[in-house]
Amino acid sequence: MDDNLRRRAEEWLAQDPDPETREELRAILAADDGDALTARFAAKLEFGTAGLRGELGAGPNRMNRVTVLRAAAGLAAVLGPGRRVVIGYDARYKSDVFARDTAALLSGAGIRADVLPRPLPTPVLAFAVRHLDADAGVMVTASHNPPRDNGYKVYWGDGRQIVPPIDKRISAAIDAVGRVDTLPRGDWNLLGEEIVDAYLAAVTPLALGDARDLRVAYTPLHGVGADTLERAFAAAGFPAPRTVPSQHAPDPAFPTVAFPNPEEPGAMDLALDLAHRIDADIVLANDPDADRCAVGVRTPDGHRMLTGDELGGLLAEHVLRHTSGPGRLVATTIVSSSLLSRIAAEHGVGCAQTLTGFKWITRAGGDDARLVYGYEEALGYSVGTDAGLPVRDKDGIGTALAVAALAADAKRAGRTLLDLLDDQARRYGLHATSQLSIRVADLSLIEAAMDRLRSAPPTRIGEHAVEAAEDLRTGSADLPPADVLRYRLAGGARVVVRPSGTEPKLKCYLEAVVPVTATVEEARARAAQSLKEMEHDLSARLAL
């Protein structure tokens, strides 16, 4: 075993307040397990624009109480005394402990620390930062990651996730933190249910229109969304959704799903089964921290899930029909469908493209922009009204209200969300998207695959000639630097390739655009074939 790693482990052990991780580390040292020690101490979780996220366990390369206390101390150093921070947490393992540790450490640094009353959705925390006029917010969550993960997301006083250079300042301050067992602690304040009531009052107007007749099947996927969503539906006047019983209560083990992510194969099986049994008009799902929303629709062959881009286009027109006046702006990311730009042009409003992540979407157009809607294809949506966005982050509860209102309005007219999708295809062309996502055990494989694409740029992808290739590593006129390759293809198609920011995956985002010259079904089949050929071509090129 490496003597330097052993020394670092013993120093860590001496300051660790958690008996579970102390026991874990003692067992590793006693067994002289060099591989386990290397995995925990040869690297560290890096604090970035997504904060921290990683597997629970001992050491700097894991999420644990020492890592969290160091993060809180770094945040405190950047903020300085006399500030106010709101702290929220989900129902994952250790989330409540990490939230309390953060609050105590901030309070010891002279910062007022307010903790949400119980495990709650991430959008409640994002809302609370602005509502309480706080200087920052912390949300302890790993969103839809596997059960053994947790994370630490930081918001600034504007209610948005942090971006550079704030993240770099916090990261540098974390690196300067010494032993955490010597840092002072203080008392913190537990907020009451009034903050949840205020959030619900803010998002209820997102149920645009007055149609309310709708039968909904719902799952929170063992997360924290159920109570808040059910209260939101009641406040907006919708019938109570029917929730999957075995997935209703928060459970950090996520026992009924392999991955607690509505996009993952099998995750929606129980909700789709419930929808079939009750003949639901739509299916709704939140991920474990309820900042994402997935939607399924009834078809002649059973219920199917909409893609993130399909829902993104539907909600865009819904919002633009219910808002008015000059200066409206909608925004999406460079990996999402180009359909939003066509919808925006049709409605005479501005459309912005950003890098992936709501930290960028909610900053589209600058602080004075009249942003009424933003979305990303990974089931993230922020819906607004003429007054703007009530939550400056993705919001799975507010989105669910907006979707329910849209579906109820269509039902009253004898139509469905599928009919609305067909309307859009005829008006704008069929915009079909898919994703090739490759999980790897070694992150160096992703770097090598990106290098291969850079050194030998493709001239064709599938049936489409490459008309333009763009490497965003050094940024562009309207985008900051990012490890992203973007290809514009003949016929309006496009491909974007990037490493995931939160998981060991390489992601390729594909889009085919097909005009509807005969039937929508025929155009859909042509688009599906085009996407299949593009995916096959990319898989061969990436060789992962």
Q: Kindly state the tokens that stand for 373.
A: 């809607």
| Residue 478, pLDDT score | 84
Is residue 450 packed enough to be buried (19+ CB in 10 Å), middle (13-18) or exposed (0-12)?
buried
Give 366's pLDDT tier (boundaries 50, 70, 90). very high
- Mean per-residue pLDDT, 371-378: 97
Superfamily of domain 430-542: Alpha-D-phosphohexomutase, C-terminal domain (3.30.310.50)
Give per-residue pLDDT as tens, 218-257: 999 999 999 999 999 999 999 999 999 999 999 999 999 9
Write out the catalytic residue numbers: 143
Tokens of 144: 């839809």
Q: State the pLDDT at residue 476.
A: 85
Tell me the CATH architecture of domain 200-305: 3-Layer(aba) Sandwich (3.40)
Helices 3-15 and 19-30 cross at an angle (nearest 10°) of: 160
Q: Check residue 81 and report its DSSP letter.
A: T
Q: What is the mean pLDDT of residues 175-179?
A: 96
Q: What pLDDT is recorded for position 191?
A: 98
pLDDT digits (tens, 9 = 90+) for 18-32: 999 999 999 999 999
Distance CA 264, CA 505 (A): 14
Please report, rounded to a whole number, the percentage of residues in the chain having pLDDT higher than 70: 100
Q: Which of 54-68, 472-486, 490-504 has the highest mean pLDDT?
A: 54-68
The mean pLDDT value for 314-343 works out to 97
pLDDT, position 48: 83
Structure tokens at 306: 């909409």
The pLDDT value recorded for residue 543 is: 86
User: Same CATH fold, 430-542 and 200-305?
Assistant: no
pLDDT score recorded for residue 1:
64
Residue 406: predicted pLDDT = 98
**CA-to-CA separations, 154 to 57, 450, 539, in angstroms, rounded:** 21, 29, 36
For 116-137, what is the mean pLDDT?
A: 98
* Average pLDDT value for the chain: 96
Domain ranges within the chain, ordered by starting residue: 3-192, 200-305, 311-426, 430-542
Distance CA 207, CA 216 (A): 15
pLDDT digits (tens, 9 = 90+) for 495-539: 999 998 777 899 999 999 999 999 999 999 999 999 999 999 999
Segment 46-70 shows an average pLDDT of: 94
The answer to whether 474 touches 454, Cβ cutoff 8 Å, is: no
CATH domain 311-426 topology: Alpha-D-Glucose-1,6-Bisphosphate; Chain A, domain 3 (3.40.120)
Question: Encoding tokens for residue 499?
Answer: 């490493």
Which residues lie below 8 Å from residue 470, measured CB to CB, with a gap of 6+? 476, 485, 486, 487, 488
User: Could you tell me how far CA 264 lies from the centroid of its own chain?
Assistant: 14
Q: pLDDT for 435-472, tens place per residue? A: 999 999 888 999 999 999 999 999 999 999 999 999 99
- What pLDDT, on a 0 to 100 scale, did the predictor assign at position 501? 76
Q: What is the pLDDT of residue 47?
A: 92
| Interatomic CA distance for residues 339 and 511, integer angstroms | 10
pTM for this prediction: 0.95
Angle at 520 between CA 518 and CA 521, to 5 degrees: 100
The DSSP-derived string for 133-169 is T-SEEEEE--TTS-TTEEEEEEEETTSSB--TTHHHH
pLDDT of residue 477: 81
Class of domain 3-192: alpha beta
**pLDDT given at position 111:** 98
